[in-house]
C-alpha cells in the first residue's frame, strides 16, 4: 500500500472470521501493559529490602517505566504506521517479555531501574499498535461498541487488577514474580498475533520525522520527569521548574515544526478535531483523579486499616466489577444509540460523587458501609467514560494515522497518571504535615494524631480529585459533540486529510 490515502473504505469486519479471537489477543497484551503500571507498587517494599534501595531512589522503579512509556508513545505510534501494526505489536511483546525477565532477575537497583525503563520503551510500541489494530479491525458500530467496551474495561480496571495480582504474587511467591508473570502473557499473545491478527502492510515509502521525534518525545519526557520529581522535591525546586520550562519550550517547538514537516510525527489535523481533542482532554483529567485515588486507597488500606497486600487487592475487586458492568453492559449497549457525551458526562459525575463519599473517611472507617459504595460509584463512572473515549477518539482516522492517533490517546493517559500521582500526593503530604504540626499538642497522642493527619491529607487531595472529575464532565459536555454512530455506516470511515 502506498504512503497516501486513496479514499477506499475500511475493510469490513465480516472479511475476518477470527476478529473476536483477535480481540482476545489484543486485550491480553493491553492487560499486560496496564497491569504493569501498578502490579509493581505492592511489590516495591519487598524489592526495596531485597536489593537495598534507598527511600530516595525507590521511586525510580515506577518513574523509569512511566518516563519511557509516556515519553516514547508518539514515536511508537508512528513506527506502527510506518512498519505495520502487527509487526510492531509482536516486537513490542517480545521486547516487553525480555525486559520483564531481566527485571525479575535483577541483582542491583540499577539493573531493576534499567529493566523497568526498557519495559516502558517496548510498552510504547505495544500500546498504540494494540489500540490501532482494534480500531481498524472493528468498523461495524455495534461490534465496535462491544469491542471497545472490553478494551475500555481493561484500561480502567487493569490498574486495580494489578493490585490484586501483585498482592497474591508478593504474598505467596516473591516480588520477582510480579515481573516474571509478564512472560507467559507475552508468549501467548505472540502466538495469537501470528495466527489470528491481520494487518495492512506498513508505508515503506514514508520517512520518520526525526526532528519531531526529538522535540515531541523530549518534551514529553521532560514533562513526565518534572511531575515525578515534584513529588519528592517540591514544586518550587529549581530542577522541577527547569524541567517544566524545558517541556514548554520543546513542546511549543514541536507544534511549530509539525505545521512545516513534510511527514509530521503527529499530523495536527488529528488533534484539531473537536471530538478527538475533547476525548483526550477528558481522558487526561479522568486519569489524574483515578491514579491519585488508587495511590491513597492503597496506602489507606495497608497503613491505616492494616490490610495485607492480598486483602488490599481484593478490596479493589468490587470496583473492577463495576467498571466491567459500566463499560460492557451499559456503555457498549448505549453508544450505538446515543452521543458519546451522554455517557461520558454522567460517568464523570458518578466518579466525582464516589470521590466525595471518600472524603468522609476517617482512621477507623468501615469498609463495607463507607469505602465500598464509593468504589462502586467510581467504577461505574470510569466504565461509562473510558469506553466511549477510546471508541470516539480513534473513529474516523485514515489508516495511515491510526497508530499515531492511538498513541496520542495513550499519551493523554500516561501524562494524566504522572500529573495525578505527583500533584495529589504533594497536596496530601503537605496538608497532612500541616495538620500534624497544628494538632500535636499532647505527646501521648502522637501516633493517633499522625494517623489522623495522614487521612486528613488524603481527604483534602481526594476533594481536589473530585473537582478535577467535575472539570472532566464539563469538558466532555462542551467539546464532545459527536452523534451516535449510524447503524449503516462504518464508524471508522477515514477522514480525508487536509491538503498541505
pLDDT above 60 (res 249)? yes
Q: Which grid coordinates belong to 198? A: 491481520
Task: Provide the CA 129 distance to its chain's centre, in angstroms.
Answer: 15
Which of the two residues, 181 and 146, has the higher pLDDT score? 181
Q: Residues 445-491: pLDDT tens digits?
A: 888 888 999 999 999 999 999 999 999 999 999 998 888 765 434 44
Is residue 57 predicted with pLDDT exceeding 60? yes
Give percent above pLDDT 70 in the chain: 89
Kindly tell me if the per-residue pLDDT of 15 is higher than 60. Answer: no
Q: What is the pLDDT of residues 389-423, one digit of tens each?
A: 888 887 777 777 777 787 788 788 877 877 787 78
Band of residue 5 on the pLDDT scale cut at 50, 70, 90 = very low
pLDDT at 155: 63
Supply the pLDDT for residue 288: 86
pLDDT of 343 over the 80 cut: yes
Length of the chain: 500
pLDDT band at 106 (very low <50, low <70, confident <90, very high): very high
Q: Render pLDDT for 163-210 as a digit per residue (tens, 0 to 9).
A: 778 878 877 888 899 899 899 989 998 998 888 777 666 555 567 788
CB atoms within 10 A of CB 440: 13
Whether the CB-CB separation of 387 and 398 falls below 8 Å is answered with no
> Quick check: 377 pLDDT over 70?
yes
Question: At residue 493, does pLDDT exceed 70?
Answer: no
The residue that leads in pLDDT, 419 or 159, is: 419
Of 100 and 56, the structure prediction assigns the larger pLDDT to 100
The mean pLDDT of the chain is 81
Residue 12: per-residue pLDDT: 43
Give pLDDT, residue 196.
Answer: 79
User: In Å, how far are 281, 337, 346, 437, 446 from 342, measured between CA atoms?
Assistant: 16, 10, 7, 46, 49
**Range with the largest mean pLDDT of 78-92, 235-249, 297-311:** 235-249
Give the per-residue pLDDT at 410.
77
What proportion of the chain, given as a percentage, has pLDDT over 90?
26
Amino acid at each position: 500500500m502506498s504512503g497516501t490515502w486513496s479514499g477506499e473504505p475500511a475493510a469490513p469486519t465480516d472479511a475476518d472470521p477470527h476478529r473476536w479471537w483477535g480481540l482476545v489477543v489484543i486485550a491480553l497484551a493491553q492487560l499486560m501493559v496496564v497491569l504493569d503500571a501498578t502490579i509493581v507498587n505492592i511489590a516495591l517494599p519487598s524489592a526495596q529490602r531485597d536489593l537495598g534501595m534507598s527511600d530516595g531512589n525507590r521511586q525510580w522503579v515506577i518513574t523509569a517505566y512511566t518516563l519511557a512509556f509516556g515519553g516514547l508513545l508518539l514515536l511508537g505510534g508512528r513506527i506502527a504506521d510506518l512498519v505495520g501494526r502487527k509487526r510492531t505489536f509482536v516486537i513490542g511483546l517480545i521486547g516487553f517479555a525480555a525486559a520483564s525477565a531481566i527485571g525479575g532477575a535483577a541483582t542491583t537497583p540499577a539493573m531493576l531501574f534499567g529493566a523497568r525503563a526498557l519495559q516502558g520503551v517496548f510498552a510504547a510500541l505495544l500500546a498504540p499498535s494494540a489500540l490501532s489494530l482494534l480500531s481498524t479491525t472493528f468498523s461495524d458500530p455495534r461490534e465496535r461498541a462491544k469491542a471497545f467496551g472490553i478494551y475500555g474495561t481493561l484500561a480502567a480496571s487493569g490498574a486495580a487488577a494489578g493490585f490484586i495480582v501483585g498482592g497474591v504474587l508478593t504474598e505467596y511467591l516473591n516480588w520477582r514474580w510480579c515481573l516474571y508473570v509478564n512472560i507467559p502473557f507475552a508468549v501467548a499473545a505472540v502466538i495469537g498475533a501470528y495466527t489470528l491478527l491481520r494487518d495492512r502492510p506498513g508505508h515503506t515509502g514514508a520517512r520518520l520525522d526525526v526532528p519531531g521525534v526529538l522535540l515531541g518525545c523530549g518534551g514529553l519526557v521532560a514533562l513526565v520527569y518534572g511531575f515525578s520529581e515534584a513529588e519528592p522535591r517540591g514544586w518550587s525546586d529549581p530542577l522541577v521548574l527547569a524541567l517544566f520550562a524545558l517541556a514548554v519550550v520543546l513542546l511549543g517547538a514541536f507544534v511549530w515544526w509539525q505545521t512545516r514537516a513534510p511527514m509530521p510525527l503527529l499530523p495536527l489535523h488529528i488533534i484539531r478535531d473537536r471530538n478527538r481533542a475533547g476525548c483526550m482532554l477528558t481522558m487526561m483529567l479522568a486519569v489524574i483523579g483515578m491514579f491519585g485515588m488508587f495511590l491513597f486507597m492503597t496506602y489507606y488500606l495497608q497503613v491505616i486499616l492494616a490490610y495485607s497486600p492480598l486483602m488490599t487487592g481484593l478490596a479493589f475487586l468490587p470496583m473492577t466489577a463495576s467498571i466491567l458492568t459500566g463499560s460492557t453492559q451499559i456503555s457498549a449497549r448505549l453508544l450505538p444509540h446515543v452521543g458519546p457525551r451522554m455517557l461520558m458526562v454522567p460517568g464523570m459525575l458518578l466518579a466525582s460523587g464516589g470521590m466525595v463519599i471518600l472524603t468522609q473517611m476517617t482512621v477507623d472507617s468501615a469498609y463495607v458501609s463507607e469505602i465500598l459504595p464509593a468504589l462502586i460509584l467510581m467504577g461505574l463512572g470510569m466504565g461509562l467514560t473510558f469506553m466511549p473515549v477510546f471508541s470516539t477518539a480513534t473513529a474516523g482516522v485514515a489508516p495511515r494515522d491510526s497508530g499515531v492517533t492511538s498513541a496520542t490517546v495513550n499519551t493523554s493517559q500516561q501524562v494524566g497518571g504522572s500529573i495525578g500521582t505527583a500533584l495529589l500526593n504533594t497536596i496530601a503530604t503537605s496538608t497532612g504535615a500541616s495538620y500534624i504540626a497544628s494538632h500535636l499538642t499532647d505527646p501521648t497522642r502522637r501516633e493517633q494524631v499522625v494517623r489522623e493527619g495522614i487521612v486528613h491529607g488524603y481527604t483534602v487531595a481526594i476533594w481536589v480529585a473530585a473537582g478535577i472529575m467535575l472539570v472532566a464532565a464539563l469538558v466532555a459536555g462542551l467539546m464532545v459533540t459527536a452523534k451516535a454512530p449510524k447503524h449503516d455506516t462504518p464508524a471508522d470511515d477515514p477522514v480525508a486529510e487536509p491538503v498541505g
